[in-house]
Structure 1
Amino acid sequence: MANPFSFTNSVTEPRRLGVFSVGIACLLLFQTHSAAAESPTTVCRESGSPLHLHVTGNFRDYPASSVAEAVQNSFPCPNEEALKSTCFSRGPLHLKASVVQPRGQGQANGHIAVTLFWENEAIRSSRVSLSPFSNSQPPSVIKGDLARAIKLLWSACTTETTDQ
């Protein structure tokens, strides 16, 4: 009986290498696409507590870059009360914004979820449904929904609701 792990068969070896090469190429392409969509941007520098913003998700058939641009261009920075909270006393923070708007007509409305991280620990998060207007509009329409989600997040960081 032949060893199934040997690569001595000259007929199947090129086929195995071809399938393996295609698999590696697809994996690299997927990783490059994901990394481009998730590259962090620093926002709220003027507030004294800059945030590293990671944007993920999809908005119907629009590219991930247009979703990231819409979030970055309409991102509301924390208010003074939130900046005084213990959420911001920990050090450099990361905020992940995930936008999901399904493709096709008749689909349920999407949502925006925002989570505030310190190192690898999630501190606070909020989630809101996208307005019905987002079903037929470009990603720039999420400005109001993003403001609602961030307002909920900043209010969760106020001194009354933060862990001591």
Structure 2
Amino acid sequence: MRLIVHYGLAILMMISISGCVAHAETDTETDGICETEEQGIRLHVDGMYGGYPHSVLRDAVLESIACPSGDAELHAFHAIATPPPHMRISVMRPTGQGQQGSLSVMLFSQGHFVIGERMSLSPFSRTQSPFSVKADINLATARLWSDLANRIAQGKPAIP
């Protein structure tokens, strides 16, 4: 009887933990951005910014993304726009004064990696609230669209 209770509890704990993990994996919140072009882009934000809640970081990212503009960038976007592409932005800034952080922007279309940008956070962004990364995010996303437009202009495929 004792073994049944012991193993029964172990099995029950494993089932409950796996249920929590499965829920966490499917609980990825995405937002629609750049919806004036085609069907827009699905955005996923992850990472951490010091001790701030993830929702604050997500709001800062949503307010700062550069969408494709200009003829060359719009042409490049239309090459990957169906079905709507996915963008993943990850911001990492460890807790503590003077800690360096990084920013990563990746664009995916039709299940394939298209292009990405990675950069260190500016000195200003390392010491302030998550809203201070807005300029860094805007710069990284603007570079991403510019680089994609340059790739298309050189006759290279939009999706390598």
TM (norm. structure 1) is: 0.80
The answer to whether the 8 A contact 1:49-1:88 is kept is no
In the other structure, the counterpart of 1:21 is 12
In the other structure, the counterpart of 1:97 is 89
Instruction: Report the CA distance shift for 1:35/1:71 in structure 2 as closer, same or farther (over 3 A).
Output: farther
Which piece of structure 1 moves more, 130-139 or 16-25?
16-25
User: How many positions carry a matched residue from both structures?
Assistant: 152
Question: Secondary structure at the residue paired with 1:163?
Answer: coil
Q: CA deviation at 1:131?
A: 1.4
Question: Secondary structure at the residue paired with 2:52?
Answer: coil
Map 1:7-156; keep pairs closer than 5 Å: 10-33=1-24, 35-36=26-27, 38-80=28-70, 81-85=72-76, 87-90=77-80, 91=82, 92-107=84-99, 109-156=100-147
Q: Which has the larger radius of gyration?
A: 1
Identity %: 28
Distance (Å, rounded) in 2 between the aligned partners of 1:161 and 1:126: 19
Instruction: Report the CA distance shift for 1:102/1:23 in structure 2 as closer, same or farther (over 3 A).
Output: farther
Deviating above 6 A after TM superposition, structure 1's stretches of 4 or more consecutive aligned residues are none
For structure 1, list consecutive stretches of 5 or more residues without a partner in the other structure. 1-9
1:23-72 residue CA offsets vs partner (Å, 9 max, x unmatched): 44344445545554x31111111233511111111112222222111111
Q: Which amino acid aligns with 1:140?
A: F
RMSD: 2.2
For structure 2, list consecutive stretches of 5 or more residues without a partner in the other structure. none
In the other structure, the counterpart of 1:163 is 156
